[in-house]
Structures are given as structure tokens and as C-alpha cells.
Amino acid sequence: MAKNVLVTGATGFIAQQLILDLLARDYAVRGTVRSLGKADKLRKTLSEHHGSPVQIELVEADLESDAGWPEAVSDIDCVMHVASPFPMAPPKDPQDLIRPAKEGALRALRAASDAGVRRTVMTSSCAAIAYGYAQLPEVLTEDNWSNPDYTKDCPPYPASKTIAERAAWDFVREQAPAMELATINPVAVFGPIRSADVRTSVGIIAQLLGGKMPMLPNAGLQFVDVRDVSLAHIAAMEKPEAAGQRFALAGEFYTLLETAAVLREAFPQYASKLPTRQLPSFLVKLLSHVNGDMKTISYELDKRRFVSGDKAQSLLLEKPYISGRDAVIASAQTLINYNAI
């Protein structure tokens, strides 16, 4: 069984939870960061949640540079490639997102292969499953792939995740057949944050609680808790049968108004800031031509993208998913605790 584990993108939301869970299981963990200037802050954050000073080696390695990767993978049994660009706003050029996602995945896999690492678990996304359809299927599974060429239903972020994951599978098949690859494909990830500067999906909760969304479009998303995502990564590393498979991590679907209702019930002190009205779809479409956030939301308008998470629940988690409600509340409570709203 793997004992020395590399986690790329160690400062990220999923990566921090994963590192804590690996340490709790007595794995030796090394992490990559884009700058070692973040090392002390990260160690402090992890130590606070671990309950004692953490022993974790950090190596400077960037998705867009070869520097640091040979050192990062040296004497490693398993690579958890979690690092990937996550846009806070739509990029002007989709390649600004696609290029680092694809090249970063290949850089990590190539370094792992050169070092003789047997298994790599890569964090992909259900965005690589659920986009690019002229006719959206009622239920999607790991057998489905997003189609980046159908841009009417596939914005840059899903395109980047799809292209990067396909490149990873192609690399293993064509250039590193001895390597075992598994991919974890979560939907929108919520749950407890471990530091105030963690955002990604949780930013939606911060915006709702902060009263920055007075009306909400007719859109929604599936939820999965970061704690389940972390456990799935570890199971994909430990279970021999996980090799060569994709695993969608996907729980309940909530509309944005339903999400706001969960928050209103759990945090009545924020009720006045939480929206109760729906933004007309025609207005969202109109604003999407001039507003980047509205353009992103427009892809979800009046749709219900639903990916089955049954396979991962059965083979990896072996338990029920943490509920969407509990994931939302955990995000909100930790955002409040960190004064991050």
C-alpha cells in the first residue's frame, strides 16, 4: 500500500481536506505549492485543524513550468494530482484556462511516470461529463463525456476539464501503460473550508449570505461535500479495482433558491440578505452579453444537469453521501467563523 503521497496544489480547498485526511491515516505527505512563500501559512492552517504540528514537506512546482516536478515526485508511491486552474471570472481567451489545465496534468503525469510512480489519482470534474449537449440526457454517468466543440452548451471551464482529463487517459494508454490512473469527477464541492482565502464553489454561499445576489436565476447545481471528495481520493488510491476508472462524485440537486432557503432556515440572522425572488430568464440572457457572471449562469439557465454518483458511492465511499443541506451549512458556518463573507 502507498505510504508516501504527493498532493499537488496543496493550498486548494480539496487538497487541504485531503492532506488532513491522509495525515490522520498516517501517510507521509508531500505537497506542491506555486510559491514557497505560502508554506508557513499552509502549515499553520493544517496544524490548527490536525490538532498538532503537521509534518509535511512542501515543494515549489507550477503547472506551467517543469521546474520542481522531479523533486516533487521523488520517492513517492502515489500522486494525487488535485491542482488545476479554477477561474473566478470567465477568461477572455478559453486557451488561458485550457492550456494550463492540460499541460499541468501532463506535466504531473510525465514526472510521475519518469519516477516510476505506480498509481495516480487525478481530480477531474463532472464538468468533464455534463456539458456540450444539444439534447441534455436526463441522467449522466461516467460513460458520458462533455463535448468542448459544442460551445453553445460548453463554456471554457468544462472544456478545460474535459480536454485535460482526456489528455491524461491518452498519455497513460500511449506513453505510460505501467501507470494506474483513476479520476475523481466531483460536482460542485461544498463543505467546511479550512482557511479564509479558500473560495471556488463555496464563493456562491459567501455571495448569498453577503446579500450580493438580490434575485436568483432559474438555475441550480448538484452538491457534494469536500469530506466525501477527499475520502473518494483515498479509496481510489487504496483499492486495486479503482485503477483505470472514472468516478463521479455527485449528490443532490438544489436550485439556487432552494439553496438560499436552506441558508435562511439554518442562519435566520442572515434572512434579510438572502434572496426569495427569481430573476426572469429573459433578463439573464440579455445581461449575459455584457456581464461575465451572467454569461456563466446562462449555461445553467432552466436546465437540470444531473450526474449519477452511484458508482463512487458503492465502490469508493461505501456509505451515503453527506447531504447537500449539511454541505451547504458547513460551508456557511465556516465562512462565518472566518469572517469571510
Residue 339 buriedness (CB in 10 A; 0-12 / 13-18 / 19+): exposed
Assign 314 to helix, strand or coil.
helix
Q: Give 98-122 as a DSSP string.
A: HHHHHHHHHHHHHHHHHTT--EEEE
CA-CA-CA-CA torsion sign (82, 256, 301, 310)? positive
Q: Flag whether pLDDT at 2 surpasses 70.
A: no
**CATH number of domain containing 128:** 3.40.50.720
The answer to the question of residue 85 being in a domain is yes
Contacts of 123 (CB under 8 A, 6+ apart): 14, 80, 81, 82, 84, 183, 184, 186, 233
- The amino acid that residue 46 corresponds to is L
CA-CA-CA-CA torsion sign (103, 243, 226, 308)? positive
The answer to the question of residue 174 being in a domain is yes
Assign 8 to helix, strand or coil.
coil
In tens, the pLDDT along 64-81 reads: 999 999 999 999 999 999
Residue 88 buriedness (CB in 10 A; 0-12 / 13-18 / 19+): exposed
Round the average pLDDT of the chain to a whole number and report it: 96
The answer to the question of residue 215 being in a domain is no
> Which pLDDT score is estimated for 1?
57
Q: What is the dihedral of CA 155, 157, 163, 169, to 10 degrees?
A: -140
Residue 296 buriedness (CB in 10 A; 0-12 / 13-18 / 19+): middle
Higher-confidence residue of 267 and 293: namely 267
State the residue range of the domain holding 123.
4-201+223-254+306-325
Residues 39-55, mean pLDDT to the nearest whole number? 95
The answer to the question of residue 227 being in a domain is yes
> Which pLDDT score is estimated for 180?
98
Q: Which of 161, 239, 285, 311 is catalytic?
A: 161
> Which pLDDT score is estimated for 87?
76
Contacts of 84 (CB under 8 A, 6+ apart): 9, 63, 101, 104, 105, 123, 160, 161, 164
Residues 208-217, mean pLDDT to the nearest whole number? 96
The answer to the question of residue 30 being in a domain is yes
In tens, the pLDDT along 153-183 reads: 999 999 999 999 999 999 999 999 999 999 9
- The whole-angstrom separation of Cα 330 and Cα 205 is 10
In tens, the pLDDT along 295-338 reads: 999 999 999 999 999 999 999 999 999 999 999 999 999 999 99
Is-catalytic flag, 161?
yes
- DSSP code of residue 243: T
Residue 98 half-sphere exposure toward CB, CA atoms < 13 A: 16
Q: Flag whether pLDDT at 218 surpasses 90.
A: yes
The answer to the question of residue 217 being in a domain is no
The answer to the question of residue 129 being in a domain is yes
The answer to the question of residue 161 being in a domain is yes
Q: What is the dihedral of CA 284, 288, 290, 294, to 10 degrees?
A: 80
Residue 190, Ramachandran bin (φ over 0: left; ψ between -120 and 50: alpha; else beta): beta
> Which pLDDT score is estimated for 233?
98
How many structural domains compose the chain?
1
Scanning the structure block, which residue is given the C-alpha cell 488535485?
82
Q: Flag whether pLDDT at 24 surpasses 90.
A: yes
